[in-house]
Amino acid sequence: MRVHNLHATPKRARRSILFSVLALLVLVGCAPQLVNPGPLRWTPELHPTHFTTRDGLSLPYRSWPTTTENPKAIIVALHGFNDYSAFFDEPAMFMQSHGITSYAYDQRGFGGAGFRGRWFETARYRMDARDFTRLIAARHPGVPIYILGESMGGAVAMTMLSEQDAPWLTGAILSAPAVWGRESMPWAQSALLWLSAHTMPSVPLSGRGLKIQPSDNIKMLIALGRDPLIIKGTRVDAINGLVDLMDEALAASRTFRARSLILYGGRDEIVKAGPTRMMFDRLPEDAKGNHQIAIYPKAYHMLLRDLEAETVWADIIAWTENPDTRLPSGADKRAQEFLSANQKN
């Protein structure tokens, strides 16, 4: 066996080796930093304005109760990446007028929650959703409870329900669920994300210049741009954490059997058709009857807040009343056409 002596190595080779060692040290030192708030010592509790998690965080929440004594249903809404609980304000008021009570909380790292802009291990997002919905179910015994997730919130709901049973939940409503995992990304994009997350994890990035349109509701988008609780500059390690969650959501589609309504906009430029169709194709064959898929050709990623969002809201209400009937808009009839279309990623 030959033993290599570093001092006997040519000068250029020694420099290359030393550079490689230094590069590895830099990568280790700059690895994506997940927030670890501590052990799970607390009992989750629902207070008038906030929700206390198992690890002691205080997550603000909003509620939109019906005027009637007994709501027909309860919706617990999970917001998307860089957003917060106010995303459900207009849909909730529409639901409220139809006898449905809604709740939405700021997920950890977003809105008014602590550790703003930071990312936690994905299991803690699922833990919060599980605990919050169970507490809401205890507050409203006997009332059907639905978890609604938009984009990142949809990925949280989907992975939670694939991982564990939640018998207190009647079903899930997934609006443009974030399933754009690394498997469906171009390899160069995935590699660049890895490199960025390991060399400049805390550098904030913005979406300016990408020319991506998340909605046709320009007034709403302008308001979001002025809202101080909306995160505009995103840390690279938070983006990497979101992609980890999307990886898990795409994988979870193979075991996702919960009764669900899955909503998708034909003009979605954020979670594109390719990975979404991949997720649809992987849903378990023995549970396909549990999933109602609705496609809105003119809708964008933020289809719950688009100009024609009221059509989507009406479909949600109809589905909660009877998940086995056709949707008023006919969006479920367009789903098969979408699934069979030869669209580019």
As beta bridge partners, residue 174 has 149, 262
51 pLDDT exceeds 90? yes
| Inter-residue contact 161 to 258 (CB < 8 Å) | yes
Q: Residue 249 corresponds to which amino acid? A: A
Q: Is 176 left (phi over 0), alpha (psi -120 to 50) or beta?
A: left
Topology of domain 31-340, CATH? Rossmann fold (3.40.50)
- Rounded to 5 degrees, what are φ and ψ at 75? -115, 125
17 pLDDT exceeds 90? no
324 pLDDT exceeds 70? yes
Question: What is the model's pLDDT at position 28?
Answer: 45
Question: What is the model's pLDDT at position 16?
Answer: 60
**pLDDT band at 338, cuts 50/70/90?**
confident
Rounded average pLDDT over 63-78: 93
End-to-end CA distance of the chain: 51
pLDDT tens for 88-134 read 999 999 999 999 999 999 999 999 999 999 999 999 999 999 999 99
Question: What is the model's pLDDT at position 41?
Answer: 94
Rounded average pLDDT over 277-306: 94
Q: What is the average pLDDT score of the chain?
A: 87
Least confident range of 114-128, 145-159, 203-217, 304-318: 203-217
Rounded average pLDDT over 193-198: 58
Tokens of 272: 């594109």
Tokens of 219: 């007034």
Cα–Cα distance for residue pair 179/155, rounded to 1 Å: 7
* Greater pLDDT, 4 or 254: 254
Tokens of 330: 């006919």
**pLDDT band at 254, cuts 50/70/90?**
very high
Question: What is the model's pLDDT at position 163?
Answer: 86
Question: What is the model's pLDDT at position 261?
Answer: 97
Rounded average pLDDT over 283-296: 93
Tokens of 159: 């992975």
Q: CA torsion 156→162→167→170, rounded to 10°?
A: 70
pLDDT tens for 200-236 read 555 656 666 667 899 999 999 999 999 999 999 888 8
| Inter-residue contact 122 to 211 (CB < 8 Å) | no
Question: What is the model's pLDDT at position 27?
Answer: 46
**pLDDT band at 5, cuts 50/70/90?**
very low
Residues 6 or more apart in contact with residue 84 via CB below 8 angstroms: 106, 107, 110, 111, 112, 113, 229, 230
Cα–Cα distance for residue pair 325/213, rounded to 1 Å: 32
279 pLDDT exceeds 60? yes
Question: What is the model's pLDDT at position 230?
Answer: 96
Question: What is the model's pLDDT at position 2?
Answer: 40
**Helix residue ranges per DSSP H, the chain:** 11-29, 89-96, 122-139, 152-163, 187-199, 218-226, 236-252, 273-282, 309-321, 335-340
Q: How far is CA 25 from CA 6, 274, 337, in A?
A: 19, 37, 51
